[in-house]
Structure 1
Amino acid sequence: MSVIYSTLTSIINRISDEIHKSFLFTFIFTILEFIEKQWTSSYFKRFYPSENFLGFFNKSIILKNHIFNPLIVLFLFALFLILSMSAPSTSLVITLILAFAGFFIGSALLPRYILKNDLKNIIQFQRKDIYSIGFCLILVSIVFFFISVASVGGIPLIKPSIRYLLKPILTMPVFLIIPGTCLVASAYLKDFNDSKITRSQVRFRFIFLLAIDCAFLLLLGYRTPLLAAFLIIIIIGFYGNIVSLWEVIVGALIGIGAIVGIGYFRSLGEMTITSSTSPFYTLQSRADFTLHVLNLLDFIGGNFGLTHGHMLASSIPGSDLGPRMMVGKLIAWRTEVTVTPTLIGQMVVDFGKVGVFVGMMLLGFILGIGFKIVQITKNYFYIGLYALLLTYTILGIETGILDIQVLIYFAIAIFIYFTCIRRSFCK
């Protein structure tokens, strides 16, 4: 495995170096370096609030030390359920209790006994490798963005109706900008930790990465990937001491506002609501519909499931139906629409209530191990990896963790984490 990794990173590093030497990118990075210098020495920076702004937040131990604890998933899941305008069935309540219990055991209890506190033998990754991989992923996503826009003959944000003409085979590579941003941001965090760049410089680079993500993802009309980029930058910045607690909280409020705002104006453009409708209605109705779907899936799945892994397997490219289309077929016999099944929807359909408990415990365990490694080592790469996993788990509360690229991220993380566990028991 190490030979394959060394070969791949050698090739990617070579590609990255050649691109950086090209005239176009030399010109771009020269301009960015100039802007960065103006940013870091700007007179107006003194008007920006200090780290102690809204200092009363820092008095909360939970917010200061555990705001991105894996248990935030349960808190947000519960909030999502409360947001719905209808009540869950008795059977679904039992399923949810099992889900919450399984996740709590996996994230809060098991890591205490399985992973040792001495983590000197964890896998170490070279900063250059991480940066090159992230840089190349961003370039690939930008290329496919222009291909996707050209394929539908317009920009989906401006013409919302053409968003449904986008081909998944072309848009999926665009979303590689998310892990690409995560890896590049982690590399910049490493530079900051090694005192190669200042806090002002790394903050500027984080903002620039986020601006790139916003520019391309927003133009495609997607809210979820945009929120993913936002969350990743905030989580990496928080654990890297680059972003203050008050900025995290304000950023969360901005993120919620973006979800509500984009959904509201997109719904106006599609004429599914009128201007007199409350902006929060789109969020409430979406939660209500998703909970209704989950009620049906829970009834279908029962105690031991119906599809026995077929829904998860349908995430593989080339399947007749994708997992969200399979949900549409199961609940309404409509295969031309995609329906979000929540975080536990796939688990309950595939393996029932038993599968929900085991699946949520495994998911919690993965996040719990990642969180413990971050807490102990403060390693730049593991901060980025944890940020990526936690982000997609939070977003999966509504959408589910069903996209093949996200499943690959989790598969890579599982391999890395279990290698770390094995090494922690080796002398």
Structure 2
Amino acid sequence: MSMIYSSLTSLINRISDEFHKSFLFKFIFTILGFIEAQWTNSYFKRFYPSENFLGFLNKNKILSIHIFNPLIVLFLFALFLLLSINNPSGSLTITLILAFAGFFIGSAILPKYFINRNLKNIVEFKRDDIYSIGFCLMIVSVVFFFISIASVGGIPLLKPSIRYLLKPAFTMPVFLIIPATCLIASVFLKDFQDNTITRSQARFRFLLLLVIDCAFLLLLGYRTPLLASFLIIIIIGFYGNIVSLWEVVVGALIGIGAIIGIGYFRSLSEMTITSSTSPIYTLQSRADFTLHVLNLLDFIGGNFGLTHGHMLASSIPGSDLGPRMMVGKLIAWRSEVTVTPTLIGQMVVDFGKIGVFVEMCLLGFVLGIGFKLMQITKNYFYIGIYSLILTYTILGIETGILDIQVLLYFTIAIFIYLLNIKITKN
């Protein structure tokens, strides 16, 4: 396995080096270096609020230490359910209790028996390898962005109707910008930890990554991947002491406002609501519809499930129906539409109430191990990988964890965490 990793990273490092040697990238990085210098030495920085702004937030232990604890998933899931206009059925209520209990056990209790605070050895990754992987993923993403807009003959943000003409084969590689952002931001954190760059430089580079993500993802008309990038930057920055707590709180409010605003104006442009409708209604209606779908899936799944793993397996490219199309077929016999089933929708259809408890326990365990490793080691890579899987779990509260690339991220994280558990036990 180490030989495969070494060969792969050697190739990726060579590709990254060739790009960096090219005139175009030398020119780009020279300009960015000049802008960074102006930014870090700017007179106007003194007008920006200090780290102690809204200092009362730092006195709250939950916010200052555990704001991105895995249990935030349960809090946000409960909040999402409360947004719904209608209530869950009695059967679904039992399923949700099992889901919450399983996740709590997996994230808060089980990791104590696998990772201890006296951990000394961990699986280490070279800074240059991680940067090269992130950089190459970014290049692939940008290339496929231009292929995507060329294939539909326009920019989806400016012409919303053509967004539905985008081909998944072209857009999926664009979303590699998210793990690319995660890895590159982690490397900038490493440089900050090693005093290679200042905190101001790290903050500028984090902001630059976010601007790049906004430029590409927003133009395609996607808001969920954009929110993923936003969350990753905030989580890495927070645990790396690059972003202050008050910025996290303000950033969360801005993020919520962006979700509401983009959804509201897109609904207006598609004429699904009128200007007299409350902006928050778009969130309420989505939550209500998703809860209605979950009620139906819970009824279909019962105690032991219906599809027995076929829905999760349908995430593999080449399947006749994707997982969200399968949901559409199960509840409405319409395979041409995609329907989001929430975090536990796939679990209950595949394996029923029993499966929900077990899978949520496993999901909580992965996040719990990641959180504990991150807290103990303060390692830049483990902060990055935890931010990636936590982000997609949070987003999966509505959409489910069903995309093949997201499942791949979790698979890689699980493999790395298991290696660390093995080291701990030896």
Distance 1:162 1:335 in 2: 21
Distance 1:244 1:117 in 2: 25
Distance 1:220 1:279 in 2: 22
Number of the residue aligned with 1:312: 312
Distance 2:13 2:305 in 1: 46
Distance 2:328 2:165 in 1: 19
Q: How does 1:273-292 map to 2 (within 5 A)?
A: 273-292=273-292
Distance 2:153 2:337 in 1: 22
Distance 1:297 1:239 in 2: 37
Higher mean C-alpha displacement, 118-127 vs 106-115: 118-127
Name stretches of at least 5 consecutive residues in structure 1 with no aligned partner: none
Superimposed CA distance per residue, residues 96-150 of structure 1 (whole angstroms, 9 cap, x where no aligned partner): 0000000000000000112122322210000000000000001100100000001
Q: Which amino acid aligns with 2:29?
A: F
Q: How does 1:62-101 map to 2 (within 5 A)?
A: 62-101=62-101
Q: How does 1:252-401 map to 2 (within 5 A)?
A: 252-401=252-401
Number of the residue aligned with 1:178: 178
Q: Shift in Å at residue 425 of structure 1?
A: 1.3
Q: How does 1:232-247 map to 2 (within 5 A)?
A: 232-247=232-247
Distance 1:144 1:75 in 2: 36
Q: Which amino acid aligns with 1:27?
A: F
Q: Which amino acid aligns with 2:153?
A: G
Three-state SS of the structure 2 residue aligned to 1:261 is: helix
Number of the residue aligned with 2:55: 55
Distance 2:382 2:9 in 1: 18
Distance 2:399 2:335 in 1: 17
Does residue 26 of structure 1 match 2:33?
no
Higher mean C-alpha displacement, 117-126 vs 135-144: 117-126
Does residue 402 of structure 1 match 2:390?
no
Three-state SS of the structure 1 residue aligned to 2:176 is: helix
Number of the residue aligned with 1:137: 137
Distance 2:154 2:330 in 1: 34
Three-state SS of the structure 2 residue aligned to 1:370 is: helix
Q: Shift in Å at residue 276 of structure 1?
A: 1.1
Distance 1:155 1:266 in 2: 15
Q: How does 1:5-44 map to 2 (within 5 A)?
A: 5-44=5-44
Distance 1:98 1:20 in 2: 51
Kindly indicate whether the alpha-carbon contact (under 8 Å) linking 1:367 and 1:386 is maintained by their aligned counterparts in 2: yes
Three-state SS of the structure 2 residue aligned to 1:142 is: helix
Superimposed CA distance per residue, residues 1-47 of structure 1 (whole angstroms, 9 cap, x where no aligned partner): 11000000000000000000000000000000000000000000000
Kindly indicate whether the alpha-carbon contact (under 8 Å) linking 1:116 and 1:425 is maintained by their aligned counterparts in 2: no
Number of the residue aligned with 2:115: 115
Q: Which amino acid aligns with 1:385?
A: I
Distance 2:212 2:74 in 1: 31
Superimposed CA distance per residue, residues 199-254 of structure 1 (whole angstroms, 9 cap, x where no aligned partner): 00000000000000001000011110000000000000000000000000000000
Three-state SS of the structure 2 residue aligned to 1:287 is: helix
Aligned residues: 426
Distance 1:330 1:281 in 2: 27
Q: Shift in Å at residue 277 of structure 1?
A: 1.0
Q: Which amino acid aligns with 2:423?
A: R
Q: Which amino acid aligns with 2:342?
A: T
Identity %: 83
Three-state SS of the structure 1 residue aligned to 2:109 is: helix
Superimposed CA distance per residue, residues 55-86 of structure 1 (whole angstroms, 9 cap, x where no aligned partner): 01011010001000000000000000000001
The TM-score with structure 1 as length reference comes to: 0.99
Higher mean C-alpha displacement, 289-298 vs 262-271: 262-271
Q: Which amino acid aligns with 2:92?
A: L
Number of the residue aligned with 2:45: 45
Three-state SS of the structure 1 residue aligned to 2:143 is: helix
Q: Which amino acid aligns with 2:339?
A: V
Distance 2:217 2:262 in 1: 12
Q: Which amino acid aligns with 1:3?
A: M
Kindly indicate whether the alpha-carbon contact (under 8 Å) linking 1:118 and 1:424 is maintained by their aligned counterparts in 2: no
C-alpha root-mean-square deviation of aligned residues, in Å?
0.5
Three-state SS of the structure 1 residue aligned to 2:175 is: helix
Number of the residue aligned with 2:126: 126
Distance 1:350 1:423 in 2: 34
Q: Which amino acid aligns with 2:180?
A: G
Higher mean C-alpha displacement, 159-168 vs 67-76: 159-168
The TM-score with structure 2 as length reference comes to: 1.00
